[in-house]
Structure 1
């Protein structure tokens, strides 16, 4: 089906520090337990130049050497022509080449790495505790979205998929691995836990994917990712996909990818052509009312704030004013987060109030508005927040509310992202606000959501302590 990748030549000098950029000439710092954002995090690195020419792109999935079963699923999903990133990378990844791919959010990166990965798994059976392929993702939401997207295709080639993320039962994930699974989709921390417990071995992994590697390094996962990759055979295939690539992932690329084919189908920065960007200047006194009017729109909206406390406070305020609002942040358990996302997707929740945990890995069909109540910290966060709308060619608006003291920083951020935004002064009752966002006066009648089921509190995999009460 595909030519096996050959043995690898020596990699660049090894590093043992968890700090992005460690191990480069002039950097002799030792390991650090604290994740760090280097000063160069916003600068793009020069990707390695492949010494072997890549294969030309294709215009149809039928041109590819894909298993018939995968082609049938693509047809059932209504997919006949690959997206730009798929057309560029699939010929090379199916041939066994390492791939470094960059493309905007919602452009089909999951199938770009999923189809060649599953092609390689067709007809193979994993031994207990020894998966054959691995996808690493920075967040639980993104890992679960990858699993959801690939499951129909995996079933067609009889490949079992296990999701390994924090916030869910460790013992159940270990049991699933021990039963045998061909593909593991994981966050780095939880996978390391299972490897250290002896529940998962990585010596049989032949295909490894790093999805959104830049965020993994930004979040301080470099030590875990490096430790995982060190345990995977070096002659396997490696694919790295992201919407942005900067110097934070330079170490991973140069150390673990062998002669990669580099594909960048979009500008490294900048907006999706179907996405409109708006900067609305507001005063502190008007900001909450403006948010409330936007959230009361006839349609769904995803809103971002910086902190969990601010998210909780805003959602409580919106519910009291008649908006079916729900929260999504790291303080929620994984079942709660999964349930909230499902409610947002099915329309039970109309306003999802979130921290950056929702900036990547959330896909909601038809979402046409993202609002930055608090401006993001940098241009990468801006691009990924905005990437929740205008997906797969659809249109959408990204609105950022900016206070007077935030204006200068916002101008610098938009310049860095190479985005021309429509900037205007607004208030809650402003016609321009209503035109762009559909804002309207809230009902003021408190809204309610279905009660959450009570969660069973238990220590994952740990024995119950204390004396059990006798049954009555």
Structure 2
């Protein structure tokens, strides 16, 4: 079995690794560190939580141990899709670079440009940045990338999903052609192949386990629900979420709850807090200081529930997460792999619940096609108010069927109806429809039984058609009839 001491890393780096308690590299680390130290381009593909960050941080620190940075000209560049992931890379660098004189700068949004400019002016060995903030510094003339020797793109597929393709291509063009490039990602999309074919030179491809796979340490459960009304879907799902948390009890030590929209993140977090749960939201519209405090609280255990958009799904190393909830089924199948990968890390077990409705069918099909497995169905612990057990409904259905059969027996048979119809058609018609007997019968009907249809054109109860003005004749019409009779 390979150990870190077999990978030709710098002695100071090995000492820092030993201080963290790690002795054996993960498969992605064992496969990527050696070719990276040889100066080759690397394309690493592995599911989340397998140690990709250390796979490029350790060889980078070893290779940069010799040399010195110049003002505004960093020697290496690490691109990350989100502020949180960039901050996590910076933390890993601080951990493994202990004992060395290497310096770093973190360029992310939500932080003052002045403080970042001061770090760049001093000269840094490692520049860790999000694409947007990096380009902002470059356009302001505060940064030169002509001295970059090593360039790393972390979570490359997420960078592409977030629309960073033009920015990445532009940044590549700012760096020297002779640079060494390292790509690391959890999934391999066709767009990544195009980028790697364009900007990587004969890369060493390391693919750990099956592409787009999920960890065996994660128990996946799908809870299906059909709301009675579409506008009640979100409310019902919040009820199901709380019911699952209550059912799991102490086993649910903490959880990350993923929503597709930022507005839904705020609503779910507010709902949980209203019902007495310790929860806080995190998404891209929040201030960076608030996002940092929220993540720190979740890491140290002072916050139990983290309600997040996909900004927190990729690459964040948050240990000991017992549960992950997909409050919304992700619209991109790859996001499912990253979301549930927040639990069951480092060999520990975890639970991943997904709440779905009939409108999520196409997204579920895409996820199950991607991971090449069906998500096991679980029991819905929440019963809507007023809902009856299936047994009671079956018991009530039996009398309904009996009554239906009884009503069908009282209906005349078709041949009987035909005989009655024929007899009616053959009966001679009365030449004088206004006979006294028929008029008397009509006049004897109660008021409620008479026709109320417009214009006296017929009866609602199917009786004979009424011709004329009815029982009441206005007095002014009777007077005109009297004058004509007098004249005659």
1:22-44 Cα offsets, whole Å, 9 max, x none, are xxxxxxxxxxxxxxxxxxxxxxx
SS in 2 for 1:156: coil
* Higher helix fraction (1 or 2): 2
Number of residue pairs the alignment of both structures matches = 373
List aligned pairs for 1:144-159, cutoff 5 A: 144-159=87-102
Q: Counterpart of 1:42?
A: none
Distance 2:367 2:7 in 1: 41
Q: Counterpart of 1:458?
A: none
Q: Counterpart of 1:7?
A: none
Point out where structure 1 has 5 or more consecutive residues left out of the alignment. Answer: 1-57, 431-472
Q: Counterpart of 1:67?
A: 10
Contact 2:158–2:314 (Cα < 8 Å) also in 1: no
1:77-135 Cα offsets, whole Å, 9 max, x none, are 11121100111111111111110110111101111111111111103221111100111
1:324-363 Cα offsets, whole Å, 9 max, x none, are 1100011101111000001111122111111111111322
Distance 1:91 1:312 in 2: 45
The partner residue of 1:272 within 191, 215, 225 is 215
1:195-242 Cα offsets, whole Å, 9 max, x none, are 111111111110000101111111111111111111111112111010
Q: Does 1:356 align with 2:299?
A: no
Distance 2:37 2:113 in 1: 33
SS in 2 for 1:424: coil
Q: Counterpart of 2:139?
A: 196
Distance 1:267 1:118 in 2: 29
SS in 2 for 1:155: coil
1:390-438 Cα offsets, whole Å, 9 max, x none, are 11222111110011232353133212222332113413379xxxxxxxx
Q: Does 1:177 align with 2:104?
A: no
Aligned-residue CA RMSD (Å): 1.6
Q: Counterpart of 1:244?
A: 187
**The 10-residue stretch of structure 1 (182-191 or 383-392) with the greater mean CA deviation from structure 2:** 383-392
The partner residue of 2:241 within 277, 288, 291 is 291
SS in 2 for 1:393: coil
Distance 1:183 1:339 in 2: 25
Contact 1:328–1:353 (Cα < 8 Å) also in 2: yes
When normalised by structure 1's length, the TM-score is: 0.76
Contact 1:195–1:201 (Cα < 8 Å) also in 2: yes
Q: Counterpart of 1:258?
A: 201
Distance 1:68 1:119 in 2: 9
When normalised by structure 2's length, the TM-score is: 0.74
Distance 2:134 2:122 in 1: 16
Q: Counterpart of 1:228?
A: 171
Contact 2:155–2:315 (Cα < 8 Å) also in 1: no
SS in 2 for 1:392: coil
Distance 2:301 2:97 in 1: 29
Contact 1:121–1:157 (Cα < 8 Å) also in 2: no
Deviation at residue 381 of structure 1 after TM alignment: 0.7
Contact 2:107–2:130 (Cα < 8 Å) also in 1: yes
Distance 1:380 1:270 in 2: 10
Deviation at residue 295 of structure 1 after TM alignment: 4.4
Q: Counterpart of 1:318?
A: 272
Q: Counterpart of 1:112?
A: 55
Q: Counterpart of 1:208?
A: 151
The partner residue of 1:81 within 24, 43, 52 is 24
CA shift in 2, pair 1:411/1:222, >3 Å: closer
Q: Counterpart of 1:307?
A: 261
Contact 1:280–1:425 (Cα < 8 Å) also in 2: yes
